[in-house]
Structures are given as structure tokens and as C-alpha cells.
Structure 1
Amino acid sequence: MSIVFALLIIAVGLSVAMAVAWLVAVRSGRSGWIDVIWSFSVGLFGAIAALLSYADNEMLPRQWLVAGLALAWSLRLGFHIAMRTASGGQDDPRYSQLKREWGADFRARLFWFLQIQAAAAFLLVLSILAAAHNPGPALRSNDWAGIVLMLIAVGGEAIADWQLTAFRADPANRDKVCDAGLWGLSRHPNYFFEWLGWLAYVVIAIDTSGVYPWGWAALGGPVLMYWLLVHVSGIPPLEAHMLRSRGEQFLRYQTRVNAFWPGLPRAAAFNQGR
């Protein structure tokens, strides 16, 4: 199978997956299913891209390694969001705000918004592809470093999610801002570790000897993820919601704790000049 045809199939598959996500979200009224389907889709098609074989080349251990990393990441994240969505409670405030802003056009605009997410997912899959097809025949120290980095990323995100869930489950914390554990070092530690995981593919992909220049394409993953999380669909709409719902309490939290990069609270306050 040619690489161009394979990538075309992956692009169409991601587009169809997000069309299904749109239908599920509209029918169920739960926007959380969008992120569930997106997470599973990136992992599935990322693994497929990692395992692509062209010109009857032998499958390399690195391809299986990268496919496993992609699937492990997506299954952990996807099932976490699925459990949270299935349990009910408040819908994702980001989509709720879009629904208010778009009004009667919400369904139509949401469909195309999710197609943009499919395009972003395709770019992330390219990062996975670049890492998997580094032609070095044996696993190198970079590969093991990538494994360690992914384990830290997935583990850190899982801990952050668990700490937030435990905080919200305590009735005494109702209407309070979570600053426990990792949330006292970053206002969005789950986003930080999510971004960190995409660096693992860069570590695996890049070959400084120049033999595999396509490895540098893996940088697109963390660059895109940072831009989305920090400047577009992650921190900005979520913090706008927190300011509306928590007001002065969240403002104080902002002065003490970094938005993205983990750091000691005093350092955060100093860096922001407050």
C-alpha cells in the first residue's frame, strides 16, 4: 500500500469518526462523548499508521513499540473521559459555552468544528507515523527514553485526573477550586502531562545523524498540542468558565499557581508580578 493512499484512508477515517462523535453528542446531549471518540480515534489510527508496511518491508520493533504507546495513551484517556461522561453531572463547560454563543446554529457549526478536530488529529497521527518509521533496525537509547517519557506523561495525567475526581467527590469542597497535589503546582497539570506525552514521539523519531530527516516532522505533535491546549480550546475557555463560576476564589488561584508549566506557587506569583 502506498503511503499517500494509506494516509488518505486515515484522514477519511478520522473525519468519519468525528462525524459519529457529532451525532452521538447531539443525540445524547453529552459533549463528553466527543472527547472520548476523539481520543480513541487518534490512538487507533495512530497505531494503524505506526504499523503501516510499504514495499514489503519487514515490520520493525519500533513500529510495534510506537503503536503500543499510542494505544496505551488513548485507552487510558478515553476510558477516563467515558467514565466521567457516563456518570452524569455537569456537561463540559467549553461546549456549553459554544452552545450558548452559537444558538440556533449550534448543531451545524459543531459539525464543522469537529471536522477541524479531525484535521488536528490527522496532524498528530503524522507525529506517531514519523516516530514509528525511524529506520534504525534496533531499539536505541532514544526509544527507551521515549518509553520513560510516555510513562511519566500517562502516569502524571492519571494522577492529576484522580486528584481532581477525589477533590470533587468530597461534599466539603463544593464550589471550591482544586489546588490539591499536582493542582497546587499547575492550574492544568492534566494538560501539561498530555503535552509531555507527545514529546515522547519526538525523542523516538529524531535522528541527529541526518539519516532520517523525516523524524523532525514529529515536532508537529507537541507544537500543535501546546497551541491547542494553551491558546485555543484548552485553557482559555476553561478558565473563562472558572472565572464566571468561582470568581475571586479562582482569581486568587491564578495569582498563586502557574497556568501550564508546573512550579512552586511562590515562583508563580513572583513571575506574574503579583
Structure 2
Amino acid sequence: MIDTLLVVALAGLVVVVVAMALTALAAWRTERIAIVDVTWGLLFVAIAWTALAVGDASARSWLLAVLVTVWGGRLAWHTGSRFARADQEDPRYEEMLGDGPIGGRLALAARKVFAVQGGAAWFIALPLMVAAATDRPLGLVAALGGLVWLVGLVFETLGDAQLKAFKADPANKGKVMDRGLWAWTRHPNYFGDACMWWGLWIIAAEAWPGVLTVLSPVAMTYFLAFATGARLLERDMAKRPGYPEYMERTSMFFPLPPKRS
């Protein structure tokens, strides 16, 4: 098993390097570093199927590959659509890298964005790679993980759909979205993401030594809630009229009943 795990881990690292190199080329051609957001979801899909191909093609690996493909494919479609609609760089990357010529920004992005995100993706994908080195049959724990994953998918998909419908109504222009799932958490899509990765970890944890990869979903949850996700987004959102009041009555991440005004 050790030999298989090393091969899978090395193959996953190669996938990360190749994917980030191609992303850098795409960023140079489009002159927008934000294209890395599209790569993020697809990178996990590539790692999952590579792990399946070079590891033990067990039912667990197949299940994880399919679930990650649903998650990563949907995320790539969502971020890709947003990237296509925009005509300028994402403000997050402008703040991080400046707004100079693409050559200078790419040099900084190689260290601050591509290397960091690539390393984070490889670490977060450890449950997928470790599971590919095991052959234990699926059991009740895997079923529980699938249920947690499904809850996350519902939160992410429904939250995005509710927000899209809210923005499409001209009557809501300038208003804060505080309906549906958004009344229970300010970031149902990020919470859904975290749930899905905890579900994937539970599936992997059923087969030893998958349980040892628990820091992978912890890292994903940290990024979503405190690092590059919700906390970073709210730095700008808090400046909008009505948003501070929304923050006072609505849980930031974990869904809770809204507080009375």
C-alpha cells in the first residue's frame, strides 16, 4: 500500500504542476490572473481521476472521483461563467498583485497565487489520493459521508440559484440578499463547499489510513471561512448599505436561525 500511495501522491503532484503551468499560460493570454479560479475546481477533478487510474481502482475511488467531478465541474462552470461575463481583473488579485503589465503580475502570481493554490489543492486532495491506495469495500460510514456531501451540494446549488434569482429582479437593486438560505448563513455556498469536502473525507476515512487526512477538510473549511473565502469577501461587502445590519442578525458561516431585529 505504501508504494501505491507514493505513486498516487507523486502523480497528483505532477497534475498540479501541469495544471498550474497551463493556467499561467491562459492568464498570460487573457491578461487576467482570475482564470485560476476556474482551474481550482477542475484541478481536484484531474487529481481524483489520476488517483483512480494509477491507484487501486476500488469502488471507493470510483465514488470519490464521481462526487468530486460533480463538485468540481459545477464549480468550474459557475466560476467560468462569472469570468466570461467580467471584462477586467478580479479586485482580489488587483489588490494582491497590482494592476501593472501582465508580465510583472504573472511573476508575482507564480509565487503568491499559482504555487500557493497548487500546494493547497494537493494537500486538500489527500483523502482522494490515500483512498486510491486502499481496497476496503464501501460501508455505512461511506454512506454517511455521501449524505453529508449531498447536504453540501444542496446548500451550494440552492444558495447560488437563490442569489442569481435575487440579482435578476430589478426591484432588488441595491438591496442585501437575506432570503432563503441566505437568512440562515451569509455564505451558504461556502458552507456547502465545506460540507461536501467533509463528506468526501468521511468516505475516505472509512478505509485506513484515510482518517489521518482529517487536516485536509479542516484546511478547506479554513480557506472558505477565514482566508480567501467569506472573510475576504466581506471586507468589501461590509461597506454596502444594509450589510452591517445583515451581519448582526445572520450567522457568518454555519447555518443558524436568524436573530430578531
Distance 1:65 1:78, change over 3 A: same
3-state SS, counterpart of residue 238 of structure 2: helix
Q: Aligned partners of 2:257, 2:88: CA distance in 1, in Å?
A: 31
* Structure 2 partner of 1:11: 13
**Residues 97 and 105 in structure 2, CA contact (< 8 A), matched pair in contact too:** yes
Aligned residues: percent identity?
A: 32
Shift of 1:44: 1.5
* Structure 2 partner of 1:272: none
* Structure 1 partner of 2:118: 118
* Structure 2 partner of 1:27: 29
Q: Aligned partners of 1:158, 1:117: CA distance in 2, in Å?
A: 23
Distance 1:91 1:167, change over 3 A: farther
Q: Aligned partners of 2:245, 2:237: CA distance in 1, in Å?
A: 12
Q: Aligned partners of 2:4, 2:257: CA distance in 1, in Å?
A: 50
3-state SS, counterpart of residue 242 of structure 2: helix
Distance 1:144 1:35, change over 3 A: same
* Structure 2 partner of 1:71: 69
Structure 1 residues 114-153: aligned runs within 5 Å = 114-136=114-136, 138-153=137-152
**Residues 126 and 217 in structure 1, CA contact (< 8 A), matched pair in contact too:** no
1:39 matched to 2:49? The reply is no
Letter in 2 for 1:184: A
3-state SS, counterpart of residue 265 of structure 1: coil
Q: Aligned partners of 2:119, 2:66: CA distance in 1, in Å?
A: 22
Q: Aligned partners of 1:176, 1:50: CA distance in 2, in Å?
A: 46
1:174 matched to 2:173? The reply is yes
Shift of 1:176: 2.3
Shift of 1:107: 3.0
Q: Aligned partners of 1:173, 1:71: CA distance in 2, in Å?
A: 34
**Residues 17 and 38 in structure 1, CA contact (< 8 A), matched pair in contact too:** no
Distance 1:263 1:128, change over 3 A: same
> Normalised by the size of structure 1, how large is the TM-score?
0.83
CA displacement 1:35-56 (0-9 Å, x = unmatched):
1111101112122214433xxx
Distance 1:251 1:88, change over 3 A: same
Structure 1 residues 195-234: aligned runs within 5 Å = 195-207=194-206, 212-234=207-229
Distance 1:19 1:172, change over 3 A: farther
Letter in 2 for 1:199: W
Distance 1:144 1:263, change over 3 A: same
1:237 matched to 2:210? The reply is no
Shift of 1:64: 1.2
> Normalised by the size of structure 2, how large is the TM-score?
0.87
* Structure 2 partner of 1:62: 60
CA displacement 1:30-79 (0-9 Å, x = unmatched):
454211111101112122214433xxx6x322221111111111111111
Q: Which runs of 5+ in 2 are unaligned?
A: none
**Residues 149 and 200 in structure 1, CA contact (< 8 A), matched pair in contact too:** yes
Q: Aligned partners of 1:214, 1:225: CA distance in 2, in Å?
A: 19
Letter in 2 for 1:124: I
Distance 1:103 1:236, change over 3 A: farther
Q: Aligned partners of 2:251, 2:33: CA distance in 1, in Å?
A: 28
Q: Which runs of 5+ in 1 are unaligned?
A: 270-274
Q: Aligned partners of 1:51, 1:142: CA distance in 2, in Å?
A: 24
Q: Aligned partners of 1:28, 1:170: CA distance in 2, in Å?
A: 31
State the Cα RMSD in Å.
2.4
Q: Aligned partners of 1:258, 1:22: CA distance in 2, in Å?
A: 37
1:265 matched to 2:258? The reply is yes
After TM superposition, the structure 1 stretch with the greater mean CA deviation from structure 2, 114-123 or 67-76, is 67-76
